[in-house]
Amino acid sequence: MSAQREMKERNPWLSPATIIITVIGAIAIVALVTVAVLQNKPAPQKYKYGIVLDAGSSHTALYIYQWPAEKDNNTGRVTQKHSCKVKGKGISSYADTPEKAGQSLTECMREAEKQVPIKRHNETPLYLGATAGMRLLNIENSQASDKVFAAVAQALQRFPFSYQGARLLTGQEEGSFGWVTVNYLDDRLKQGIETTGALDLGGASTQISFVPDGYDGSESPDNSVTFRLYGNDYNLYTHSFLCYGKDQALRLALAHQTQSGQATISDPCFHTDFSETKNYTDVFDSPCVSERKPEGTPTNFTHRGEGNFQQCQEVVKHIFNFTSCKYSQCSFNGVFQPPLQGTFGAFSAYYFVMNFLNLTDESLSLETVKEKLAAYCATSWEQIKQQYPKVPLKYLAEYCFSGTYILTLLTEGYNFTSDTYSEIKFIKKIKGSDAGWTLGYMLNLTNMIPAEAPDSPLLPYPSYVAVITIIVIALAILLILVLRPIWPRCSKQPQIV
């Protein structure tokens, strides 16, 4: 025992203080290295989900969104996981058979059941927003509109999601949520940089939304929406023109040309050789044109094409009112619009029409676009059918009108010029998510965009790793310095006899 005591006294390595320092140092190094390794190791990602149904005038589409579950508190990046186009027309077309409106959603809802993990079904919010088609039905027959909504609600409640209701969006909501979507997906809101305007074109309405310089909304409060997002204030100008979606605009153009009630209509907005018998009632069975139907018209008329872009543009101009404006500046129909500001994303029918016509290239000038469209409209109907054999004839016949309408709406209606037209980008998706109002709508209802900017970590991840590394190295050096004086003596430990 005395020999062991003597050995401990002569060997500081075995002293309590040295042992404690060694153990603490070793534990600290192991702990810091473990934390750094775990921090750097990617954890299995878990997601939450949201579903939005866009019940438009011509069709309904379902969108599934997802975001990191552990970042649900205002920091998770929301992206589109899946989309499904509902077969058939929009729910407003089922006014006489409302139960079919709900049935039409079944196939896409079953897809949603497969796309969202079963364990997330009960907590996944499900929304349906109806736009201009249902707005028109509500104007024409509010009871029929209510029955369609009731049938849709009944159908959606059969599925295992957290149903949050079906409602009619206002035009202002449709425009502003489309603007939120475009700028959220492009990270402009989070970064607080200049925003992009939103141009949305549907079948029954069209929306324009942007943030003008110095705009306070005082001149026309009805067109103003204020957002505070990520600590930044946005005074948004937005307006929705009901009846100026491309389908209803075609009705307005036909109504203008059929005022005399003649049996044959020569239409410059359709290709030469195009000829089709149409029913007057089919043209005027919308609230947008019902009051314009001339008396004493025959039951049918022959709709013939002439294929002339310039003349078509003159026809389209007649559906706008440019004569009255009580404000400092207007777009059309006496609606206030401040000067255009910045770049614009044009989506929905803007994209689909211009993409079909091969006119989405950003390098194309406005003059070149007009020339190409004029050449397309002048092409005979027989040649167009041969060139696009897989496109349904109804849609194929209307592209000349739709393209002409888009250019006229942008230049004559919204006041884009040859210089500012280049600021329009025709877009379908942004970073894998469809451009449209649905994402902005869900972000708003789920409070996924904070009013104030979320607190940032004290150190970015690379800096954090660097600091941990420096601390580990410093502790290792300190441990070496503490133990170095005793190493020579430790190597000369006495033999125990």
Question: Is the per-residue pLDDT at 327 higher than 90?
Answer: yes
State how far the Cα of 90 lies from the Cα of 2, in Å rounded to an integer.
Answer: 98
- Strand duo 162-168 + 197-201: pairing: unpaired
- Model confidence at 403, pLDDT cuts 50, 70, 90, reads very high
Higher pLDDT, 33 or 194: 194
pLDDT band at 42 (very low <50, low <70, confident <90, very high): low
User: Apex CA 107: angle with CA 105 and CA 111, to 5°?
Assistant: 115
Percent of the chain with pLDDT over 70: 83
CB atoms within 10 A of CB 366: 18
Residue owning tokens 């059941």: 113
The pLDDT of 335-342, averaged and rounded, is 97
For residue 326, pLDDT beyond 80: yes
Residues listed for the chain: 497
pLDDT mean over 144-156: 98
- pLDDT of residue 497 exceeding 50: no
- The question of whether 174 is a catalytic residue gets the answer yes
pLDDT score at 453? 79
* Mean per-residue pLDDT, 176-185: 98
pLDDT for 259-295, tens place per residue? 777 889 999 999 999 999 999 888 999 999 998 888 8
Q: How far is CA 190 from CA 15, 49, 186, 220, 431, in A?
A: 58, 21, 9, 28, 16
Q: Is 210 exposed, middle or buried (0-12, 13-18, 19+ CB in 10 A)?
A: buried
What is the overall mean pLDDT for the chain? 89
Whether pLDDT at 225 is above 50: yes
Please, which pLDDT band fits residue 156 given cuts at 50, 70 and 90? very high
Asked if residue 301 has pLDDT above 70, the reply is yes
**Homologous superfamily (CATH) for 172-433:** Exopolyphosphatase. Domain 2 (3.30.420.150)
Higher pLDDT, 452 or 443: 443
CATH code assigned to 47-168: 3.30.420.40
Whether the predicted pLDDT of 7 surpasses 60? no
The domain locations on the chain are 47-168, 172-433, 457-497
- For residues 166 and 465, the model is more confident at 166
pLDDT tens digits, one per residue of 230-270: 999 999 999 999 999 999 999 999 999 987 778 899 999 99
User: What amino acid occupies position 213?
Assistant: D
Catalytic residue among 70, 99, 174, 362: 174
Q: Using pLDDT thresholds of 50, 70 and 90, give the confidence band for residue 483.
A: low
Q: Among 34-43, 60-69, 214-223, 309-318, which stretch is predicted with the lowest mean pLDDT?
A: 34-43
Half-sphere exposure of 165 (CA within 13 A, CB side): 6
Q: Tell me, yes or no, if the two domains 47-168 and 172-433 fold the same way.
A: yes
Does position 318 have pLDDT exceeding 60, yes or no? Answer: yes
pLDDT tier at 73, thresholds 50, 70, 90: very low
